[in-house]
Amino acid sequence: MSRNSGKNARKGINSEFSFKTIHPLNAKQQDYLTAIRNNSIIFGIGSAGTGKTFIATNYAASELYYRNINKIILTRPNIEVGKGLGFIPGTIEEKYRPYLEPFENILMYSLGQGLFKYSLDKGEIQPKPLGFLRGATFERCVVLADEMQNASISEMKMLLSRIGNDCKMIISGDPEQSDIPNSGLMDAVNRLQYVEDVASVRFSENDIVRSPLCKRIILAYNK
């Protein structure tokens, strides 16, 4: 099947579904969306509940829906992968999927359950443990990397150096929630702060939108 006929086939599938856009709820989310649209590597840094994952995942879903990319890669540091998963039946991707539930909930909302399942079955949405990305080259895709405060410096370098043509990497995390020494997240932000086509957006407690109680809890812990 040629690329054009594949696109036409996908257009037929898309006509059966509608896409739900998540609109920014505040100025910081709008800044983040603008940075995502205008750069190839984007860091979303800051507190939980600020909508980092919602904005990034909905953007990636829209790019896939409108065929601007061929696939979405979902990843996060696999600190727990391999511990207790060895006896679970299925491929490593199937074993890893529960770790990426926040992504999947947003993708199902954005694409609808039917198109989400179709895209997952066709390999257009791929859950991948961070440790299994070594040697890969990412082209014509969006990579969503979450909880990256738990990536080591070497893991972050490995991920960033996978970027190829027509690839966008959206990397998010909260340095305050790092479970490891020498996190690679802020190391990467600092190293790349003057590199062209790289942007970072920092969220604060004031940008929390999950719920008023969530905001009060995080403020209490950050005192």
Q: pLDDT band for position 86 (50/70/90)?
A: low
DSSP 24: P
On whether the 25-221 domain is CATH 1.25.50.10, my answer is no
Model pLDDT for residues 89-133, shown as the tens digit of each residue: 666 666 666 767 889 999 999 999 999 999 999 999 999 888 889
- C-alpha distance from residue 105 to each of 1, 58, 124 (Å): 31, 10, 16
pLDDT at 81: 43
What pLDDT is recorded for position 112? Answer: 95
The pLDDT assigned to 120 comes to: 92
Ranges of each domain in the chain: 25-221
pTM, rounded to two decimals: 0.87
Closest CA to 187 of 75, 43, 59: 43
Q: What does the alpha-carbon distance between residue 12 and residue 27 come to, in Å, rounded to a whole number?
A: 36
pLDDT classification of 16: cutoffs 50, 70, 90: low
**pLDDT single digits (tens) 169-216:** 999 999 988 888 899 999 999 999 999 999 999 999 889 898 989 888
> For residue 218, what pLDDT is reported?
86
Closest CA to 60 of 116, 131, 128: 116
* 31/199 Cα distance (integer angstroms): 11
Six-digit token pair at 206? 């004031």
Q: Encoding tokens for residue 137? A: 């080259």
Q: What pLDDT is recorded for position 122?
A: 95
Residue-wise pLDDT tens digits, 133-153:
988 999 999 999 999 999 999
